[in-house]
Amino acid sequence: MSSIKEGIHDHLIELQEEIDCIFTAGRNTKVSEVNIGQIYGGMRGVVALACNTSYVDPYSGLHIGDYTTDNFSHKLPEEIFFLLSTGKFPEAESLAEFQNDLNQRAQVPQYVWDVLRNLPRDTHPMTMLSLGILSMENESVFKREYQKGIEKRNYWKYTLEDALNILAKLPSLAAGIYRIRFGNGVLIAHDSKLDWSGNLVHMLGIPDGDKSFADLMRLYLVLHCDHEGGNVSAFTSRVVNSALSDLYYAVSAGLNGLAGPLHGLANQECLQFILKIDEQLSDQVSEEELKAYVLDVLDSGKVIPGYGHAVLRVTDPRFTAFMKFGEENCSNSSCFKIAKKLFSVVPDILKNYKEGKIANPYPNVDAMSGSLLHHFGLKQFDYYTVLFGVSRVMGFCAQNILAQGLGQPIIRPKSVTNKWVLENLAVKKK
């Protein structure tokens, strides 16, 4: 048994023991109430899911297992996937074994490239990524074994096989999409001597003399890996897999959710905002000029991209990690300097704007990430969400592996009609 499979097996036993304790303590205990505003408001704030890979604390940010951003931001993506799936970081020997396994699975089938090359020239890169993964669905190990007949307790093992096959091919697939869509179409071969994120940079073909871009990509893929279970992309992926649609379907579906402008496009909107400031005011803009500019934007009824978060009530620690990287590697970058200056003025403005009604005036991860990608020569905005997707697939896969290992059922919440709501309101008012 491989180290990651053994680790997941042990982790599932731990999680099941916790669930058994929870059920013994009070299976029918109420943990959340739903009001009508939440029924019509996207279920915001309704506690109705269990996610054992990550959670977001309003004051300490993203946690993966027992670790905060400060504890894992220096790690490799391979180590992060191991953590998401097993609850522990791999030992050196287990990491090497896992990386070797991914290398053995990294070859993207030729038919995938044939499909992608025959799409219209202006096809969106996210469409290409989703379609590229979906085109490989016939190779699903889970589907093949399920058709033979397997016990439910073994579903997770074949879900893991699909996850490893998808993850192994992601750097080649994502880089190939970049080369086809924005380059000359010539693919760069996978290098088994490089790690997962290093290979992505290598195959993109963007110059990286001092390896700073490779380190940025490592950091980017680590910081975007997972974000609880209720966000659009993770929830979509989980719902699809809960029907026992294999991971190829589930990952493709999750990526389709991530492609939406309210979910995965935030960092490019932040970058466009920064580039507009650079064009109009330059990176030498004073704080007073920047304050006036920000107030004009707010007074026009618009928001400041990259500021605010549905859960966080402090500066996103992922933003802080990117800020530290920028200080160390590209402090003279125009975009970085403007992003840094915005951080120095925007929170105070938002705290006091119109009687301080903004719940979280602090920056999230998107306020900085696009500026760093732009500095290193990745200037095709439509591609940014692909990188987000490559990272977030780690979370999709880990969440579904654990859910299948814990025997979680199909997700099927109850929906109601307006008539039902009106009738219940009338009853409650009597």
Catalytic: 114? no
Distance between CA 285 and CA 357 in Å, rounded?
Answer: 27
pLDDT of residue 262: 82
User: Is residue 346 included in any domain, yes or no?
Assistant: yes
Task: Name the DSSP class of 67.
Answer: E
- Please indicate, yes or no, if residue 412 is contained in any of the structural domains: no
Asked about 366 being catalytic, the answer comes back as yes
Supply the range of the domain harboring residue 301: 266-375
Judge whether 208 lies within some domain. Answer: no
113-161 pLDDT per residue, tens:
999 999 999 999 999 999 999 999 999 999 999 999 999 999 999 999 9
The enclosing domain of 350 has a CATH number of 1.10.230.10
Please identify which of the residues 190, 227, 309, 375 carries the catalytic annotation.
Answer: 309
Q: Using CA atoms, how far apart are residues 261 and 285, in angstroms rounded to an integer?
A: 29
Interaxial angle between packed helices 155-182 and 92-104, expressed in degrees from 0 to 180 and rounded to the nearest 10: 60
In a domain, 43, yes or no: no
Q: What is the DSSP string of 3-25?
A: HHHHHHHHHHHHHHHHHHHHHHH
pLDDT of residue 322: 98
Q: Pick the catalytic residue: 101, 366, 374, 375?
A: 366
Is 263 a catalytic site residue? yes
Token code pair at residue 123: 């096809």
Asked if 44 and 310 touch (Cβ cutoff 8 Å), the reply is yes
Q: Which amino acid is at 305?
A: P
> Which backbone phi and psi does 14 adopt, to 5 degrees?
-60, -45
Residues in the chain with pLDDT values less than 50: none
The DSSP letter of residue 362 is S
pLDDT of 356:
65
pTM to 2 decimals? 0.96
Give dist(CA 286, CA 290) in Å, integer.
Answer: 6
**Set 9, 57, 263, 283: catalytic member:** 263
- Indicate whether 338 belongs to any domain: yes
Calculate the alpha carbon distances from 220 to 319, 343, 389, 406 in Å: 11, 20, 11, 30
Domain for residue 335, yes or no? yes
pLDDT value, residue 175: 98
pLDDT, tens only, 356-370: 667 789 999 999 999
Query: Quick one: tokens of 40?
Result: 């019509």
151 within domain boundaries:
no
In a domain, 348, yes or no: yes
Cα 8 to Cα 124: distance, rounded to the nearest angstrom: 36
Domain count, the chain: 1
Predicted pLDDT at 358 = 72
Buried b (16+ CB within 10 A) or exposed e, 42-79: eeeebeeeebbbbebeeeebbbbbebebeebbebbbbb
